[in-house]
Amino acid sequence: MPRKSSGSSPPPTVGVLGLGYMGLASAAAFARRGVQVTGYDVVADRRETVRSGSSPFHEEGLGELVASETASGRLRVVDSIGEVVASSEILFLCLPTPPLPNGRIDLGPIEKGARDLGAAIAHADGFRLVVVKSTVVPGTAERVLAPILRSSAGKGPEELGVASNPEFLAEGTMVADALHPDRIVVGVEDTRSAKLLQALYAVFDSPLVVVTPAGAEMTKYAANSFLAMKISFANEISRFSERVGVDVDDVVRGFGSDPRIGERFLRAGPGFGGSCFSKDVRAFVRSARDQGVRLRLAEQIVGANDDQTLHAATLVRDQLPPGAGATVALLGLSFKEGTDDLRESRALPIAQELARHGVRVRAHDPAALAGFRRWLAAEPASVQSVVTAVDTVEEALRGADAAVLQVPWPEYLAWPSSWTRRMRRPVLVDLRRAFPQARAASQKLRLVRLGDGRTIHAPETPSPQRRPVARSRRGGARRVG
């Protein structure tokens, strides 16, 4: 049962503007904790989907959570911002801040949302607290959004509070992260706003860190940049491990067991993806430069990530037979398991790089296939001519010279022997080191693992479609069997 804020008083009511991945997960988690939540999104189809008790996104457990909380009446979706304001004491802005080519974030969507929200608050009585949950650079809530909100509402700080409350949700585990946050960071500028947020978050059994709005915004960027840096360090160690013939996972266990370091986010792979890390690192670096500060470590992160993705594609190409016309089955297209999100997925540049070298790619994913087809439709003809999205794993593997495990979905790890027989060459390049080595041996697969130098130059397994050739005593070739 949720913990009450004080005595028998119910928690403050909440409005959520923006029902994307983060907004919807946050809204549903508040509702599960006993908070009355009203949600709104500018996309009418999304409103209808959530109102009907479904999730518009593939995210583990989110559909079930939305269904239960809409059925309970604690999560309600309305068709106007005014309705949200009328029923909510605390209003969360969960709007996108997409990247710009210069590294800065585009504040256009959230500025418009603030203007529209302020206009609705103008007609409301009583104090309202607007909380910026979107990821914005330090100083945005106080210096950019607060003036817009108060000007549009015609209200001062005594009637309209503005705070920052960044999210720390990871796609694939959003529901667990939203229901059981390891910490909650709020940035406030006045006592009344601080007490409201403390009352709201008392329903969670999580540490509450109270700082200034700019401090909360800085915390979000520092956390994501540090995590991206850990991943990039592990990826660079994985390339070194390949060269000297060791397994990067053994190395990580060795130095990650140091409690000052820890093993989390040291899992080497083809590079990080998702909607946050690349965008946030670039914005963090650019924001610091705008203030005359060089974040030299952070400046190297995105380039190191791109290097790792190129290395992953090269590793795949190195396993293909010489000459043109090789075929690769690309298994897993989202940026990680548990989600259908393709934003910054490493599958996309890997497919592009393989296509650039004339490799035919058949791509499959159990959740992200529709999104991949939309991405592919916008690619140049040179990519579309050799990259195709297929509906089944069997079709992806038919006549393939290698398979690439880009996302370790459970169905891929189950790998029946019939899949091996569909391939021209039984080679599986595991970019996540998730495929069981014993299963690879039992299914007669040559397993090549990124970051594991012991497997890179292992002997090739004979093709399941070709009988071995032996030499006769007179030097001629003859079939065996």
Which alpha helices (DSSP H) does 33-107 contain, by range? 44-51, 62-72, 81-86
DSSP per-residue string spanning 187-226: E-SSHHHHHHHHHHHTTS-S-EEEE-HHHHHHHHHHHHHH
Residues 6 or more apart whose Cβ sits within 8 Å of residue 196: 12, 89, 90, 129, 161
Catalytic-residue membership of 276: yes
* Count of beta carbons in the 10 Å neighbourhood of residue 414: 10
Of 17, 141, 160, 276, the catalytic one is: 276
Contacts of residues 309-314 at CB distance under 8 Å and 24 or more positions apart, as own/partner, are 309/270, 309/271, 309/346, 309/349, 309/350, 309/353, 310/349, 310/353, 311/239, 312/269, 312/270, 312/271, 312/346, 312/350, 312/431, 312/450, 313/349, 313/350, 313/353, 313/354, 314/353
d(CA 157, CA 163): 11
Catalytic residue IDs: 276
